Amino acid sequence: MEEWQVQETLKEDSFGRVERLEGSQGGALLRRVACGARIPGSGIVARLLMRRERLALEALRGQVGTPSVVEDEAAQRAPSASGRAPRPRDVLLRSWLAGEPLHLATSLPEDYFDHLDALVDALHARGVCHNDLHKEQNLLVGEDGFPHLIDFQLASVHRRRGRGFRMRCREDLRHVQKHRRRYTRDG
């Protein structure tokens, strides 16, 4: 059985923390711990956001360029940097996507945004809207040069393709175009 250890805390805020775990057999996972903070009700909100992320990632199961939900009890119970293990109900594990955030990328393939358009279209075809693509840190340039999307806390999953879904799709695509204009010469 693989043993997991917290390598680094990537983010910590009023909703909890995001940790990168490394396994004894060389694998890596991302662990979101929705523990909240001292703000009353922050733990409830954090778990609701984590639930949204889980629903979106489950709807996107097998989609290239997006993380996958991982079920691993040992990784779930691995102690955090504080030495305490999080409660299982507060944990979401997902696959690690290697790459650089768009704003830190040193080089960008010419067709990066064409592939990003196709990836966002694939999300929408599965009824998922990301709803947080305005943040450059949620768009990764993978080691292979292809786009990867992370942080699905604000994502929405739609069974019906009604007006709300279409509006969110337009917003996702508008943010992709905004990034395209910023990062390419000819926009």
pLDDT at 81: 85
The mean pLDDT value for 60-75 works out to: 96
Percentage of residues of the chain with pLDDT beyond 90: 87
Give the whole-angstrom CA distance, residue 6 versus residue 23: 9
User: Is 80 exceeded by the pLDDT of residue 185?
Assistant: no
Q: Is the pTM of this model over 0.85?
A: yes
pLDDT at 186: 59
Give the model confidence (pLDDT) of 112-168 as tens digits.
999 999 999 999 999 999 999 999 999 999 999 999 999 999 999 999 999 999 999
Band of residue 63 on the pLDDT scale cut at 50, 70, 90? very high
Exposure class string for 27-59: b at 16+ Cβ within 10 A, else e: eebbbbbbbbeeeeebbeebbebbebbbbbbeb
